[in-house]
Amino acid sequence: MSLPTDFVTEVEQDRRRYRRKQTTRSVLISAASTLVFAVVVALVLANSPGWAVTRETFFSGHYFQLALPAVLKGLWLNVRILFFAVIGVAILAVILATLRSLRGPVFFPLRFLAAAYTDLFRGMPFLIVLYLIGFGIPALNPTERIPAAVLGTIALILTYASYVAEVLRAGLEAVHPSQRFAARSLGLTHGQTLRHIIVPQAVRKVTPALMNDFISMQKDVGLISVLGAVDAIRAAQIQQATTYNFTSYVVAGLLFVAFSWPFIRLSDWYTARLRRREQSGGVV
């Protein structure tokens, strides 16, 4: 290029100064409003009559330390269950979504069963599935003791596979039909079209929804404590029963948040990135 573009005119420098000032200003304003908000909350709390007792029962440093090891150990069980449940959900959901997308009258029974399954489990509260599996299967089979954690994992898989299957199916259908025609007219077979064209685009569409399901699974894995498996919540409950102090629940809650926080941020970041890419590629 003939003129150096890294030389910046006075007007542009002025604009940049102004934008920097605006940025600083908004940072300052948000900091100030956060501070005011925090002070108000703190004052309201500190002035409420039961605050001293509440603080001791829910936010006691002593009981926090006491509960932490047991609750952490419980969380490790949650993590392992989540690991196996995610694998199970992935497999079952793909099978269900595939069954539901099968075309042709021969497959009607399979399609119908898959649809009935997803309808049933999407409608049923997870707690009820847990009870039915957790207490129903052992009742069918009284001689053999199946660990509560295994039953909880199964319940989690059954429920979440139905959500995820629907997300996958919707994603496949959301790819514009012209993409399929374009691929078929290049001579790709039905299978190749699915593998190289439809699925890659569908994955991009469904990833935010899938990440959201995963985050909600991370919390729901705590519900298996109702079956008696000693996970983080159950460990907190045991602590509470012996000390009559509720800090252990706060510990469990904080640990769950800390555990899922990275994924929550990741999912937000990824969704924002997808949106930006669509914007710059778009015609506007």
Partner 1 sequence: MLDVKGVVKRFGDNVVLNRLDLTVDQHEVVALIGASGSGKSTLLRCVNLLEQVDDGQIFLSGTDITDPRINADKVRAQLGVVFQHYNLFPHLSVLDNITLAARKVHRTDVAVAEQRGMDLLRRIGLEDKAKAFPDRLSGGQQQRVAIVRAIATDPELLLLDEITSALDPILVGEVLDLVRHLRETGSTILMATHEIAFARTVADRVVFLDGGRIVEQGPPAQVIDAPTEQATRDFLSRVLH
Binding site for partner 1 (CB under 8 A): 1-3, 5, 8-9, 11-12, 15, 18-19, 22, 283-284
Residue type, 138: P
Q: What is the rounded CA–CA span in Å between residue 100 and residue 169?
A: 8
Please say which residue, 18 or 83, places its beta carbon nearer to partner 1: 18
Please say which residue, 4 or 125, places its beta carbon nearer to partner 1: 4
Shortest CB 59 distance to partner 1, Å: 46
- Nearest alpha carbon to residue 210 among 143, 164, 150, 175: 164
Angle at which helices 61-101 and 108-123 cross, to 10°:
160
Shortest CB 179 distance to partner 1, Å: 17
Please say which residue, 18 or 261, places its beta carbon nearer to partner 1: 18
Shortest CB 270 distance to partner 1, Å: 22
3-class SS at 201? helix
Shortest CB 8 distance to partner 1, Å: 6
Pull the structure tokens for residue 157: 């898989």
Please say which residue, 11 or 140, places its beta carbon nearer to partner 1: 11
Contact 249, 236 (CB under 8 A): yes
Pull the structure tokens for residue 142: 């009284």
Distances from the Cα of 213 to the Cα of 81, 133, 219, 254, angstroms: 16, 21, 10, 20
Shortest CB 281 distance to partner 1, Å: 13
Please say which residue, 22 or 24, places its beta carbon nearer to partner 1: 22
